[in-house]
Amino acid sequence: MTSPRDIMERSGKAFLSDLCRVGLGTPAGDWFRRYWLAVGVAGELRDIPRAVRVLGEELVLFRDDRRRIGLLGLHCPHRGSSLEYGDIENGGIRCPYHGWLFDVSGQCLEQPAEPEGSIFCRKVKHLSYPVAELGGLIFAYMGPDQESPPPLPQYKALVDPNGQRSLEATRQYDYNWFNFIENGADPAHFSILHRADPNDGTWRSWFFNFKDIPPFDAVETSYGMKVISRKPGPTADTEYVDEKSFALPSILQIGDTEFTHFEKSKEALAAGSHNAHFMFVTPSDDDHFTLFTVNHYTGPDPEFFQKLEPSRRIAPKLQKKEYDQRRYSPFRGSVRSEDIMSQSTQGTIAERKEQLGTSDKGVILLRKIILGAIETMQEGEIPKGVPLREESAKVIDIDSFTGIRAKGVF
């Protein structure tokens, strides 16, 4: 029998199994390098350099004494010491070993142990990548067009002067990036893996109910795709809707945190959600990724984030049985630990044997969109999700609606 996976594996130049490898020279690695990727949080970057691993490359992120941000190769080009321990001074970062000083462009400015009058330092240019700050996140471009990178996408959640923004602490995960991203196109798992007490009176347990799983559609959008789950609304011409979006290359947006975290009833959905919850996923290497989370709230409550904070606290876990040897046990009770258990035990897309069903249609579309974008890049064109230069000011709205609306809207 031919599975959708077999069909996809035979089409195009990139294979599904390529998606989990992100090193330079691999299909997905080269594709990722066409986009600006989140690599840090501006507020976390103070006067101490930070080692960061991005797409398998060891780098150091720092803010110089003029507040410029730099992203350089981690290892000093002299004899390799880590610039993570460098000193921020004199307009750059100074290697602690022999004092070579580099500015944010990677240019070597000083070599204290070289003879007076030496011009050797002028010839040393360390690896550096362009960086830009947007809405509190630091993005880097590691692609081929270093002199003139594509425009940094103006994501609405990061540039909107209205509403409030909050960045959550950066999180590291120890499995492949694609497992996490695919989960965003798989709404069926919400009703099963994350199911709550079906009688708790909340919207969430009513909508994502194990016994009555909402049907969903997977649709392509200008930025990527979204999955739209629906249940009949309070009147014949309306429906309850929950959307989750994916934007290329690796951004997820879910709009229902306002309802899932505050345990609101389904009637509360009439007002719709006002909080957009963005997850920028940056592969650190083939086996790890970093998650940068931004919330953008446009509702009326001036203390929304203060209230959201305690609601996020993970409920105390059930006691682990003393004979329970399982690494992720106990995982139930927190969406986060439920996801980590499921996604980190799947194996990479290259290792897995799968049998996809109808409810995997979101995952199938997601794979097709990413493989299509990689193919576009391989053909020398600009892949989807990279703004054209003439569209550099265009605001990109990665929408995902949660609430009640007219029936059948896509």
Q: Which residues bind Fe ion (CB under 5 A)?
A: 339
Round to whole Å and give the CA distance between 273 and 164. Answer: 14
369-407 in b/e form (b: 16+ CB < 10 A) is bbbbbbbbbeeeeebbbbbeeeeeeeebbbebbbbbbee
**If residue 402 lies in a helix (H) or strand (E), which one and from where to where?**
strand 402-406
Q: Is residue 95 a contact point for ligand FES (CB under 6 A)?
A: yes
Residues 180-219 close enough to bind ligand FES by CB under 6 A: none
Tokens of 265: 């009833």
* The entry of ligand FES, Fe ion, none that residue 97 binds, CB within 5 to 8 Å by partner kind: ligand FES
Query: Nearer Cβ to ligand FES, position 96 or 198?
Result: 96
Please identify which residue in the block is written with the tokens 């060891």.
58
**Partner in contact with 79, chosen from ligand FES, Fe ion, none, beta carbon below 5 to 8 Å by kind:** ligand FES
CA pair distance 282, 279, nearest whole angstrom: 10
Is residue 79 a contact point for ligand FES (CB under 6 A)? yes
Residue 171 interacts with which of ligand FES, Fe ion, none, CB < 5 to 8 Å by class? none
The entry of Fe ion, ligand FES, none that residue 76 binds, CB within 5 to 8 Å by partner kind: ligand FES
Q: Given the rule CB under 6 A, which of 37-45, 95-103, 172-180, 331-339 is the region that contacts ligand FES?
A: 95-103
CA distance 240 to 7: 34
Asked if residue 129 lies in contact with residue 140, where contact means CB atoms within 8 angstroms, the answer is: yes
The item of ligand FES, Fe ion, none sharing an interface with residue 186, based on CB under 5 to 8 Å by kind, is none
CA distance 45 to 64: 10
Between 98 and 332, name the residue whose CB sits nearer to Fe ion: 332
Taking CB under 6 A as the binding criterion, the range among 32-40, 91-99, 187-195, 344-352 that sits at the site for ligand FES is 91-99
Closest CB 89 distance from ligand FES, rounded Å: 14
Residue 78 or 332: the one with the smaller Cβ distance to ligand FES is 78
Q: Is the Cβ of residue 103 or residue 339 nearer to Fe ion in the bound state? A: 339
Q: Which stretch binds ligand FES (CB under 6 A): 11-19, 74-82, 300-308, 321-329?
A: 74-82
By beta-carbon proximity to Fe ion, the closer residue of 111 and 343 is 343
**Residue 76 binds ligand FES (CB under 6 A):** yes
The DSSP-derived string for 199-231 is TS--HHHHHSBTTBPPPEEEEE-SSEEEEEEEE
78 is an interface residue for ligand FES by CB under 6 A:
yes
Verify binding: residue 101, ligand FES, rule CB under 6 A: no
Rounded Cα gap, residues 80 and 71, in angstroms: 16
Which residue from 68, 98, 189, 231 is in contact with ligand FES, where contact means CB under 6 A?
A: 98
Least distance to Fe ion, CB of residue 336, Å:
9
- Give the span between the Cα atoms of 161 and 166, in whole angstroms: 13
Alpha carbon of 191 to those of 188, 194, 211, 242, 338: distances in Å?
6, 6, 8, 12, 12
Q: What residue 339 binds from Fe ion, ligand FES, none (CB within 5 to 8 A, per partner kind)?
A: Fe ion
Identity of the residue, 339 or 360, whose beta carbon is nearer to Fe ion in the bound complex = 339
- C-alpha 312/C-alpha 113 separation (Å) is 53
Distance CA 349, CA 147 (A): 34
**DSSP secondary structure letter of residue 182:** H
CB nearer to ligand FES: pick between 15 and 97: 97
The residue count for binding ligand FES (CB under 6 A) is 10
Q: Which of 182, 187, 176, 71 is nearest to 131 (CA)?
A: 71
Beta carbon nearer to ligand FES, 82 or 337: 82
Q: Specify the stretch interacting with ligand FES by CB under 6 A; choose among 90-98, 128-136, 165-173, 221-229.
A: 90-98
The position carrying tokens 């196109």 is: 185
Contact of residue 85 among Fe ion, ligand FES, none (CB under 5-8 Å per partner type): none
Estimate to the nearest angstrom the gap between the alpha carbon of 357 and the chain centroid: 26
Question: In the set 97, 262, 305, 401, which binds ligand FES (CB under 6 A)?
Answer: 97
Q: Is the preceding omega at residue 249 within 30 degrees of 0, hence cis? A: yes
- Residue ranges that bind ligand FES, judged by CB under 6 A: 76, 78-81, 95, 97-100
